[in-house]
Amino acid sequence: MLFLHIFRLFCVFQDVLRNILDLNESVIQNEEFVRCVSGGKLFPGSVPLAHRYGGHQFGYWAGQLGDGRAHLLGEYTNRKGERWEVQLKGSGKTPYSRSGDGRAVIRSSVREFLCSEAMHFLGVPTSRALSLVVSEEPVWRDPFYNGSVIKERGAVVLRLAKSWFRIGSLEILTRTGELDVLRTLLDFVIKEHFKSIATNDPDKYVVFFSRVLNETAHLIAHWMSVGFAHGVCNTDNFSLLSITFHYGPFGFMESYDPNFVPNTSDDEGRYSIGAQANVGLFNLQKLLEALKPLLTSDQLSQSQQILREYPQIYHQRFHELFKAKLGFLGNEEKDSYVIAFLLKLMEDTGADFTMTFRQLSEVTLSRLQKGSFAPSLWALSDLSSHKHFRDWVQLYLQRLSRIMSDSDEERQHRMQGVNPRYVLRNWMAESAIRKAEKNDFSEVTLLQKTLMEPFMEQEEAERAGYATKPPSWAQQLRVSCSS
Tell me the per-residue pLDDT of 456-467, one tens digit each, with 9 for 90 and over: 999 999 999 999
pLDDT tens for 427-454 read 999 999 999 999 999 999 999 999 999 9
User: For residue 476, what pLDDT band results from cuts at 50, 70 and 90?
Assistant: low
The CA–CA distances, whole Å, from 2 to 31, 105, 106, 135, 173 equal 16, 14, 16, 11, 29
- pLDDT at 243 (0 to 100): 98
* Of residues 92 and 274, more confidently modeled: 274
Is the pLDDT at 2 greater than 80, yes or no?
Answer: no
Is the pLDDT at 125 greater than 60, yes or no?
Answer: yes
User: For residue 144, what pLDDT band results from cuts at 50, 70 and 90?
Assistant: low
Length of the chain: 483
pLDDT tens for 75-90 read 999 999 999 999 999 9
Q: How far apart are CA 218 and CA 146, in angstroms?
A: 38
- pLDDT at 483 (0 to 100): 56
- pLDDT at 475 (0 to 100): 61
- pLDDT at 4 (0 to 100): 46
Long-range contacts of 133-136 (CB under 8 A, 24+ apart): 133/4, 133/7, 133/8, 133/9, 133/10, 133/34, 133/37, 133/38, 133/157, 133/158, 134/7, 134/8, 134/10, 134/106, 134/109, 134/436, 135/4, 135/5, 135/6, 135/7, 135/38, 136/6, 136/7
pLDDT tens for 404-416 read 999 999 999 999 9
In this prediction, what percent of the chain has a pLDDT beyond 90?
86
pTM of the model: 0.95
pLDDT tens for 31-47 read 999 999 998 889 888 99
Question: How remote is the C-alpha of 322 from its chain's centroid?
Answer: 18
Across 99-113, 350-364, 439-453, least confident range:
99-113
- pLDDT at 146 (0 to 100): 67
Please check whether residue 284 is in contact with residue 213, taking contact to mean a CB–CB distance below 8 angstroms: yes
Is the pLDDT at 292 greater than 70, yes or no?
Answer: yes
Average confidence score pLDDT of the chain: 94
Across 135-144, 213-222, 244-253, 325-334, least confident range:
135-144
* Of residues 136 and 245, more confidently modeled: 245
User: Which residues are paired to 76 by β-bridges?
Assistant: 84
Phi, psi angles (nearest 5°) of residue 416: -70, -20
List Cβ neighbours of 327 (8 Å cut-off, separation of 6 or more).
360, 361, 400, 411, 414, 415
Q: Once rounded to an integer, what is the mean pLDDT over residues 55-64?
A: 96
Q: How far apart are CA 473 and CA 466, in angstroms?
A: 15
Is the pLDDT at 6 greater than 70, yes or no?
Answer: no
Please check whether residue 157 is in contact with residue 90, taking contact to mean a CB–CB distance below 8 angstroms: yes
Is the pLDDT at 257 greater than 50, yes or no?
Answer: yes
List Cβ neighbours of 258 (8 Å cut-off, separation of 6 or more).
272, 273, 274, 347
Active site residues: 236
Any idea what DSSP says for residue 252?
E
Is the pLDDT at 207 greater than 60, yes or no?
Answer: yes
Is the pLDDT at 261 greater than 90, yes or no?
Answer: yes
- pLDDT at 3 (0 to 100): 46
Is the pLDDT at 332 greater than 60, yes or no?
Answer: yes
DSSP reduced 3-state for 62: strand
In this prediction, what percent of the chain has a pLDDT beyond 70?
95
Is the pLDDT at 481 greater than 80, yes or no?
Answer: no
Half-sphere exposure of 9 (CA within 13 A, CB side): 20
Which amino acid appears at position 481 of this protein?
Answer: C
User: For residue 151, what pLDDT band results from cuts at 50, 70 and 90?
Assistant: confident
Nearest CA among 52, 57, 46, 55 for reference residue 68 = 52
Q: Once rounded to an integer, what is the mean pLDDT over residues 388-393?
A: 98
